[in-house]
Amino acid sequence: MSTSPETLLETLSSELSNGEFESARSTATELEEKYRTRRGDEVVRIQQSRALYLAVKQEGVSLEEASKLNEFSGLGGGTQFLRALLLTVVTTVVETHEELVAEERLVAVTDVAQALIDELLDAEKRLVEKTSSTQKVIDTSEIPPSVRLTVDSVDRRSISVDEETAIRTTVTNVGEATADGVDIRIGSTNGITPDTESHTIGALGASEKVEFSLHVVGDGSGSQSVDLRVHSDNAGTDLATVVLTVQEERLSPIGNFENSPTDPDGDGLYEDINGDGRFDLVDVQALFANLDDETIQNNPEAFDFNGDGSVDIVDVQQLFTQL
């Protein structure tokens, strides 16, 4: 188990008092290493800042009371200057104690070292007390409620006029207290119509999450933005935006497929040949088998995957490379 600076200081004090100079040399070396490697200052500052933030959020704890956490006298067990001065004086005593005895100065120099040790011991004790106070606030406080909105997936990012798509979202309360009055609101450009402008969630407990599917219909061509907003009475607001592509007209189904082809990634090319909402090997096979289909030949810009202005076997090969 690692020896604390406080224990090392007490040991050093005893060794100097008893004239155990070689032992004092070893203890001073260990103390110097402890001061060099210990990052107590930074740790306490982080704890202190978090506790201050949490404390002012907790009912019954005033900003003035929380600010007392900042009153660290000798933060981190004393200043670097005092630590360095003590180690210098101890080194002087250890290395030159015989000369100091001859000059009748050993007692005076040792007293200086003892005074520095006493001051650093007081600083260590204050540090322990203040750290304990900070930790108590942290342990008894709650992280305030805060709502987060994430878009998990979109069924179709490219739709036709009057066609519907679903935006699947998750609302999460990332705090440690209940978020009240939570709802989702949908805003958009003129080219998108939501099935409803808001969905009420109500209360969300600590770390609780709810999944929602939001349905919208295309009613104007072009690139359209759907703005999503989750709001809580006591847990803030979060925003997300989904961009959809709305085609002026829906293409007719290809071959014997029941559904119209779609553009899953919104790049203007209809990779979803069979209209099942996804792009896979079946679509490559469907394009190859239906190159002469009227829907493909009458809308070459939608299936011209190699960009040469026509649709042929080369486009099938190009579509295959996109798998």
Q: Which pLDDT belongs to residue 59?
A: 45
Q: Which pLDDT belongs to residue 1?
A: 54
Angle at 194 between CA 186 and CA 277, to 5 degrees: 110
d(CA 109, CA 220): 89
Beta carbons within 8 Å of 100's beta carbon, 6+ residues apart: 92, 93, 106, 109
What percent of the chain is predicted at pLDDT more than 90?
Answer: 33
Cα dihedral sign, 107-110-112-115: negative
* Tokens encoding 292: 């002469």
Cite the residue boundaries of each domain of the chain with CATH code 2.60.40.10.
Answer: 147-247
Per the confidence metrics, is the pTM higher than 0.95?
no
- 294, burial (CB in 10 Å: exposed 0-12, middle 13-18, buried 19+): exposed
Decide: 321 and 284 in contact? Cβ < 8 Å: no
For residue 261, pLDDT beyond 70: yes
Shortest CA distance to 32 belongs to which of 73, 74, 90?
90
Residue 10 half-sphere exposure, CB side, CA atoms within 13 Å?
8
φ, ψ of residue 94 to 5 degrees: the values are: -65, -45
Q: Which of the listed CATH numbers 3.50.40.10, 3.40.50.720, 2.60.40.10, 3.30.930.10 matches domain 147-247? A: 2.60.40.10
Q: Which pLDDT belongs to residue 79?
A: 62
What percent of the chain is predicted at pLDDT more than 70?
Answer: 81
d(CA 125, CA 101): 33
Decide: 303 and 315 in contact? Cβ < 8 Å: yes
Q: What is the mean pLDDT of the chain?
A: 81
Range scoring the smallest mean pLDDT among 81-95, 124-138, 147-161, 252-266: 124-138
d(CA 27, CA 113): 14
3-class SS at 14? helix
Tens digits of per-residue pLDDT, 27-76? Answer: 998 888 887 766 555 455 555 555 555 544 444 444 454 444 444 333 44
pLDDT band at 78 (very low <50, low <70, confident <90, very high): low
Q: Which pLDDT belongs to residue 272?
A: 93
Q: Which pLDDT belongs to residue 263?
A: 83
For residue 248, pLDDT beyond 80: no
For residue 2, pLDDT beyond 80: no
d(CA 227, CA 58): 33
Decide: 56 and 66 in contact? Cβ < 8 Å: yes
d(CA 33, CA 35): 5
